[in-house]
């Protein structure tokens, strides 16, 4: 049987997961590729830490160039994370004609154009299944299974840590800080989990999904993002009373000439299939013009699921290597059109329904003043909850609006900040009908 | 731009859907393939019916050989349905070196071995994404995205009609016959929908999923099947009281040396993601040894979703044709091992929890007699519901058992048939913990 050689750069969690998949399932993989897939070299600066797995020491090197320069290595797997060094290694490997696999979402979100262009220029293939959705083969679905469609909508739960936090807040009624502390203590979240909870990680992933769905890299900085740190168990409970769950959603909508691209907490109907995605699970819901609604669900992170995704790319590239095929498909699975620019709609121009929770004085006329300001900004109210429970002289007034223009909502809320009837910060959450 | 020619045999619902996708999204598809994909010929015995779409009459022929024999046609798409004729056309097209796409689940479930073997012998490629799960790209996921895994469990809701019927029965509390009649009247179900409701259609699809997941065709007749015709709104309501939903599930479990392969109504916990798959939607839940739990969800039938799946195969084969690649991947995405035989566990050897609903006389000692017989067969009871509501002198006694051996349950129920305390048929439903 023919042998395909793999070199791994970066032997941390995902590197170990990848190695474990390739060794544990070696026979299954050989059967699916039609060739033996063998790890020939592993580069990492740290060769001393105990990783809890058996590795032949001869495979190990501290020098990434021992992988990149090895003419017998067919597939180079970049798993060091970070941006600059990873980019350098990937570009060098491509220049040597290697097929490359990476799980590096930050790199692809920020320097996708450059990497994708280089891959095509050198005629090599690039796999990046593991960069979005952990073990969920969503990149493969977009590049192949859904390729007949114009993608109209993508709504993702793309960050497992924040979904875990929101699930706990929902099920146990606990405040954000308490849940985060528990998650950190249990090792489920980084300390502090800033990029997870502020939407950055989800924005990286959404940028990649958009690139593939629409065939052109998106400018990462134009993706609107808002995190979950201001959410309270009160808002989750009120949302429930209106029939909604709160999730951190990554949303892309094709408006024809422009695209919505935004990450923020959102209320979604409880019977929507995304509302039932809990714990550390990820899911991508999407609609194509022919396929209609689709959902892809699985574990969004972790050594084993991410290893599964990395090795799915290795298998594909090994299959291509076996038959001597190079650069079979461009990274975005589109003929590249460098002049094609995806325009993103500014968040101010969004039309949406909104949930607003005001902390107001418990005195007559308050509701009328608030709804007056909203009315002045063409925002009409569809439901209100106002229930006693006075705390320090203030009561929550909770409203759902009909569809309104975001800039109007922003203006109205900003105007209300100066009003004496409001005793605290107003919470605004967008409502997605799904 | 290079041109790839497609010939379609069978211009019914799916044929029209395929044609519509290829024409409506022609530009998108060309961009994703790197070549124009053009329908060169369409064969159908009926050229007169109004299909509601614009087709150049020069494309049409009544003779399938005009497609199969055309040397300019690269991809032959078989969409006539049925078994014998379809098989003949596919084998002839393969012999001519054509790549073939089919949506024919009955054919692949019953004659898969022969078709897969021929595809490899002639060195052509075979796409059959549309044969399972309508628009859901589950075949692609198994062949590529999850290829690094040993698949341990697959649980599918694979028949949209029966899922629609069960959803209506659940939400509206209506009896089976009423819901079926409504579905037929509305055109949502065939009249009568026999193959949908008796489990045959789901069994065809499960046979195909198993073939790909485990790399070898399964003997279709060995798949256990049981339909939904005996289910009642009472059972659905009782299931709800125990915290379960009832779905028609297609289940494959890898036991190491053998495989479970069975279709039957089953109770599944309400918070399992499959329990939230309603209406005509399909879903495939699966677990791989590394990826963990995954779910794929979408519309399981219909012209547009099925067209999307057929064209995803056409796109893949067109990409291969563009670079002159033939027979890139075997149909099951495994090196073929003709001697490998998948052994299926007989249903009698299943270990499961069970729901039983007895119709019994409303008299003292009945519960003790029933549980006595169960106990004699090593079946222990985990919960019982016995609520008055006498109808014609009989009451329902509903039980959930702990795990028990199916053959014991069958024996116990068969023994009870002769007992005078039972006034009607006993309903048995297996419980899946998921």
Q: Are residues A159 and A175 in the same domain?
A: yes
Shared domain for A399 and A373, answered yes or no, is yes
Upper half-sphere CA count for residue A269 (Cβ side, 13 Å): 7
Both A146 and A295 in one domain: the answer is: yes
| Residue B389 confidence class, pLDDT cut points 50, 70, 90 | low
Supply the ipTM of this predicted assembly.
0.96
Distance from CA of B266 to the nearest CA of A (A): 20
Q: Are A121 and A211 members of one domain?
A: no
In the predicted structure, residue B50 carries a pLDDT above the cut 70: yes
Reply yes or no on whether A205 is catalytic: yes
pLDDT of residue A390: 66
Same-domain check for residues B198 and B236: yes
Same domain, A7 and A43: yes
Whether B340 maps to a domain, the answer reads no
Q: Cis ω on the peptide bond leading into residue B71 (within 30° of 0)?
A: no
Q: Do A137 and B150 touch (CB under 8 A)?
A: no
Chain B touched by A129 (CB under 8 Å):
yes
The distance in angstroms from the start CA to the end CA of chain B is 50
Task: Give the pLDDT of residue B391.
Answer: 64
Which of B290, B295, B299 faces A292 most closely, judged by CB atoms?
A: B299
Same domain, A130 and A143: no
The answer to whether the Cβ–Cβ distance between A297 and B297 falls below 8 Å is yes
- The answer to whether residue B216 sits within a structural domain is yes
Residues A65 and A143 in one domain: no
Gyration radius of chain B's alpha carbons: 24
d(CA A13, CA B138): 28
- Does a structural domain hold residue B329? no
Inside any domain, residue B64 = yes
- Is the bond into B419 cis (omega within 30 degrees of 0)? no
Q: What is the CATH number of the domain that holds B361?
A: 3.30.70.260
Q: What's the pLDDT tens digit per position in B339-376?
A: 678 899 999 999 999 999 999 998 888 999 999 999 99
Output the pLDDT for position A389.
61
Contact of B135 with chain A, judged by CB distance below 8 Å, is answered with: yes
Q: What's CA A379's distance to the chain center, in Å?
A: 31
Residue A336 lies inside a defined structural domain of this protein: no
**Is A177's Cβ below 8 Å from some Cβ in B?**
no
Q: Which residues of chain A have pLDDT under 50?
A: none
The A residues from 339 to 378 touching B (CB cutoff 8 Å) are none
Q: Which two tokens stand for residue A25?
A: 């399932």
Q: Do B291 and A311 count as a contact with CB atoms less than 8 A apart? A: no
CA distance A10 to chain B (A): 20
Residue A433: its pLDDT value, please?
A: 85
Q: How far apart are CA A49 and CA B218, in angstroms?
A: 46
Query: What is the dihedral angle through the alpha carbons of A11, A16, A18, A23, rounded to the nearest 10 degrees?
Result: 120
Chain B 210-269, residues with CB within 8 Å of chain A CB atoms: 215
Q: How far apart are the first and last CA of chain A?
A: 50
For residue A290, what is the nearest residue in chain B, using CA coordinates? B304
Instruction: Find where tokens 């528990």 sit.
Output: A182
Q: What is the pLDDT of residues A51-90, one digit of tens each?
A: 999 999 999 999 999 999 999 999 999 999 999 999 999 9
Residue B2 sits at the chain A interface (C-beta within 8 Å): no
pLDDT exceeds 90 at position B327: no
Q: Are residues A127 and A182 in the same domain?
A: no
Report pLDDT for B320.
96
Selected for mutation to probe chain B from A2, A130, A145, A333 (highest B CB count within 10 Å) is A145
Give the span between the Cα atoms of A343 and A258, in whole angstroms. Answer: 5
Query: pLDDT band for position B388 (50/70/90)?
Result: low
Using CB atoms and an 8 Å cut-off, which of residues 296-315 of chain B contact chain A?
296-299, 302, 304-305, 307-309, 311-312, 314-315
% chain B with pLDDT above 70: 98
Cβ atoms of residues A357 and A238 within 8 Å: yes
Pick the catalytic residue from A87, A168, A205, A247.
A205
Please report whether residue A338 resides in a domain.
no
Determine, for residues A276 and B277 on separate chains, whether the beta-carbon distance falls below 8 Å. Answer: no
Same domain, residue pair B362 and B410: yes
Interchain contact A128–B (C-beta under 8 A): no
Range of the domain at B123: 3-133+303-322
Q: Looking at the annotation, which residues of B are catalytic?
A: 205
**Which range among A217-221, A298-302, B217-221, B390-394 has the greatest average pLDDT?**
A298-302
Q: With beta carbons under 8 A apart, name residues in chain A contacting B330.
A: 34
Distance from CA of A141 to the nearest CA of B (A): 7
Token digits of residue B12: 């019914």
CB contacts < 8 A (A, B): 204
pLDDT tens, residue by residue, B7-22: 999 999 999 999 999 9
B135 with A328: Cβ contact below 8 A:
no
Which CATH number do you get for residue B166?
3.30.360.10
CA distance B20 to chain A (A): 9
Residue A335: the pLDDT is 85
pLDDT at B188 over 90: no
Domain co-membership, B157 together with B208: yes
Residue B191: Cβ within 10 Å count: 11
Tell me how crowded residue A3 is: count the other CB atoms within 10 A of its CB.
14
- Count the domains in chain B: 3
Q: What CATH number is associated with residue A60?
A: 3.40.50.720
Query: Is B361 inside a domain boundary?
Result: yes
pLDDT at position B390 is 66
**B264 within a domain of the structure (yes/no):** yes
**Are A275 and A154 part of one and the same domain?**
yes
Residue B294 to residue A297, Cβ atoms within 8 A: yes
Closest chain A C-alpha to B408 CA, distance in angstroms: 36
Let me know if B3 is exposed, middle or buried by CB neighbors in 10 A (0-12, 13-18, 19+): middle
Residue A50 token pair: 């105990």
């Amino acid at each position: 049987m023919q042998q395909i050689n793999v070199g791994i750069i970066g032997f941390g969690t995902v590197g170990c997961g990848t190695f474990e998949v390739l060794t544990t399932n070696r026979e299954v993989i050989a059967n699916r590729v039609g060739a033996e897939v063998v790890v020939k070299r592993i580069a990492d600066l740290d060769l001393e830490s105990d990783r809890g797995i058996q590795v032949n020491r001869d495979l190990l090197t501290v020098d990434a160039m021992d992988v990149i320069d090895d003419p017998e290595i067919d597939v180079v797997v970049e798993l060091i994370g970070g941006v600059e060094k990873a980019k350098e290694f990937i570009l060098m490997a491509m220049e040597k004609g290697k097929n490359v696999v990476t799980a590096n979402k930050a790199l692809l979100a920020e320097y996708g154009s450059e990497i994708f262009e280089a891959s095509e220029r050198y005629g090599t293939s690039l796999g990046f299944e593991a960069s979005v959705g952990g073990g969920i083969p969503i990149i493969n679905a977009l590049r192949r299974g859904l390729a007949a469609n114009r993608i109209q909508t993508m709504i993702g739960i793309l960050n497992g840590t924040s979904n875990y936090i929101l699930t706990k807040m929902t099920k146990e009624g606990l405040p954000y800080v308490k849940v985060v502390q528990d998650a950190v203590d249990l090792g489920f979240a980084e300390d502090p989990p800033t990029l997870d909870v502020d939407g950055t990680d989800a924005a990286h992933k959404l940028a990649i999904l958009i690139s593939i769905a629409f065939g052109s890299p998106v400018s990462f900085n134009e993706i609107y993002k808002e995190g979950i740190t201001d959410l309270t168990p009160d808002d989750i409970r009120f949302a429930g009373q209106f029939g909604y769950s709160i999730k951190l959603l990554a949303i892309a909508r094709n408006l024809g000439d422009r695209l919505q691209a935004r990450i923020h907490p959102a209320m979604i109907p409880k019977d929507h299939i995304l509302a039932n995605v809990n714990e550390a699970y990820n899911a991508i819901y999407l609609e194509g013009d022919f396929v209609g609604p689709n959902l892809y669900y699985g574990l969004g992170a972790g050594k084993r699921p991410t290893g599964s995704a990395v090795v799915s790319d290795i298998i594909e590239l090994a299959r291509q290597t076996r038959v001597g095929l190079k650069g079979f498909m461009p990274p975005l699975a589109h003929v590249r059109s460098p002049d094609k620019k995806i325009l993103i709609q500014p968040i101010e121009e969004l039309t949406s329904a909104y949930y607003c929770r005001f902390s107001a004085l418990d005195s007559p006329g308050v509701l009328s003043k608030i709804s007056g300001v909203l009315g002045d900004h063409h925002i009409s109210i569809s439901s209100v909850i106002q229930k006693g429970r006075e705390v320090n002289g203030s009561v929550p007034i909770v409203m759902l609006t009909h569809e309104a223009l975001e800039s109007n909502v922003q203006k109205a809320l900003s105007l209300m900040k100066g009003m004496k009837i409001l005793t605290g910060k107003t919470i605004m959450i967008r409502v997605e009908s799904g």
